[in-house]
Amino acid sequence: MKLLILILSIIILIIYTICYYIFPTEVSIYQTDIEKFDINVLSSRQPIVISDYVQNPEDIINSWFKYNIINFDGNDNGYDNDNNGNDNDWKHNNHKYLFINALEDTEIIIYKAQITKINPTPEDKIIIIKLKQNQSLILPFKWKYYGNKINIWNIDDIITFSFGRLF
């Protein structure tokens, strides 16, 4: 009986993990402010621009994502562990969400979620999001991005913390 429960638990975990790798076919960019933010929009797995100027992003992150694993990744300083220090390469979000806060006016270039770590080609449609200083962007799991002059917080749950970097 214990073996059956263990096998069923493993099967459920595998199915749940596989669901993380099912991405929306259409791309939408949501825009909201802090007061109107709805946590349920995160389930759409689309980028969300926070139009308000967020002076203390830690307060917002700790409030909205209090049940997640939060890690401040610092600012984009040209070194990214996932890209072996190559700042001329797209970064691949292996976390459930990235909370990106602009240190100054900047552009974040994003590309739709995919399992592969292949960079977009010149024929692919990329999205450029202009952020003013202290504006923020929430980027979902497996989206690619390129940007600088930003602070980054990695937000994980147990699945992305455990398996997100494997695929």
Domain count, the chain: 1
For residue 81, pLDDT beyond 80: no
Global confidence as pTM = 0.87
Cα(25)–Cα(43) distance, integer angstroms? 14
Mean pLDDT of 93-117: 93
Residue of 119 and 100 predicted with greater confidence: 100
Determine the pLDDT at residue 107. 96
Mean pLDDT of 78-105: 76
Strands of the chain (E only): list them.
Answer: 30-32, 48-50, 69-75, 91-92, 97-102, 106-111, 127-131, 136-140, 144-146, 150-156
Short-list 56, 33, 55, CA closest to 138? 33
Determine the pLDDT at residue 100. 97
- The band of 80, judged by pLDDT with boundaries at 50, 70 and 90, is very low
Tell me which residue range forms the domain holding 6: 2-163
